[in-house]
Structures are given as C-alpha cells and as structure tokens.
Amino acid sequence: MKFNIGGGNIHQYDAMISRTIKETLAKVGMPDLKITWEWNSKFTRRMGDAHSATRIVRFSTHLWPRASEAERWETVVHEVCHITADIRHGKDCMHGIEWVQEMQRAGIKDPQRCHEVDRSGIAQKRALVAAKCPCGKIKKIGAGRAGRLRNGTRIYHCKDCNGKVELL
C-alpha cells in the first residue's frame, strides 16, 4: 500500500528502515533472523510496535515524517530489540532488563521507552478506561490495556507507587 503524507511519500524511508533492521540484527548477534516491517496509518500515539510471534514491525505513517533522523533510527532499533529479546529469552520481555540488554548490544547506552515526537494536529481516537492503584490515584488507561487487565493476561503497576493497577 502506498502512503502519501503531507505532500511527501512515506516510502522514501523504506531503505533506511531495511538497512537499520539488518545492521541491528548483526549487532545483537542474530544476522540470519528475518524481520519484516510495514507502515500503519492507524498509529497516532506511537512510532511503532513489534510482534515477536510474526516477526513483524509496524511504523506510524503519521509520526514518522515528524521525527528526527535519530528518532527514526532509534525507533527501528527499539522495535527490533523487542523481537530479539523475546526470541532470546523465550518470553515477552516488554521494556524489562532483557530488552535493555538487547538495546545496549545494538549500541544504545541509555534506552528510552517513549518518544518525544510532536503529535499536535493529529487526530487521536483512543477510548480511555478508569483504573485505580493502591496509592489512591485514578488512572486513565487505553481500552487494549484494560482488556488485558480484564482477561488476566497482563498485570500493570503504577509508575508512582509500583502497586497493582485495577479497573474501577
């Protein structure tokens, strides 16, 4: 699928993404691993995501052109490291120590979980659900995270008190 964003063609970044995936895999010691990637026009809050089971990385058509070259490079490395950490450790490593170690193998000394790309002017469609934590704060979490809490597939912790977050 072809995407034209802001008068430009998002596919001008294709070669950079492919090259960065290949370089990252070599740095982390998995040069023969095959990871594919695609553009996603629904992402308005995140630069990308990774699916270890399918070995597919997806990137935002909306945020990618707004990011700096360094932010784009780090996003590719970030998502590839999710897949390599999960494969290496046989579990979903999220942003834990295993992911941090993969990022460091890839050459990023101080890995960051989130990006700082300007999202102003981009329509954001996100259903929020109320949740609480032991410190008494009411949190707003996304519908996907709420669903994982509801069906018990994931436990989330408050960033302030580290207590278990529960739905209201």
Closest CA to 89 of 78, 100, 77, 74: 100
How many domains are contained in the chain?
2
pLDDT band for position 128 (cuts 50, 70, 90): confident
Residue 72 falls within a domain, yes or no?
A: yes
DSSP code of 40?
A: E
- Give the model confidence (pLDDT) of 95-116 as tens digits: 999 999 999 999 999 998 887 8
Question: What are 53's two structure tokens?
Answer: 């089971």
Cα separation, 108 vs 85, in Å, equals: 14
Q: List Cα–Cα distances, 107 to 34, 73, 110, 111, 158, in angstroms.
A: 20, 12, 9, 9, 30
The helix/strand/coil state of 140 is strand
Residue 116 falls within a domain, yes or no?
A: no
CATH code of residue 11: 3.30.2010.10
Residue at which a domain ends, from 105, 120, 150: 105
Closest CA to 27 of 99, 98, 87, 104: 104
136 and 96 both lie in a single domain: no
84 and 153 both lie in a single domain: no
28 and 61 both lie in a single domain: yes
83 and 33 both lie in a single domain: yes
Residue at which a domain ends, from 52, 73, 105: 105
Closest CA to 82 of 35, 50, 60, 107: 50
Q: Which amino acid is at 117?
A: V
Residue at which a domain ends, from 57, 90, 105: 105
Question: What are 41's two structure tokens?
Answer: 């026009």
97 and 136 both lie in a single domain: no
- pLDDT score, position 142: 84
The answer to whether residue 146 scores a pLDDT higher than 60 is: yes
Domain hosting 22: range is 4-105
- pTM across the whole model: 0.73
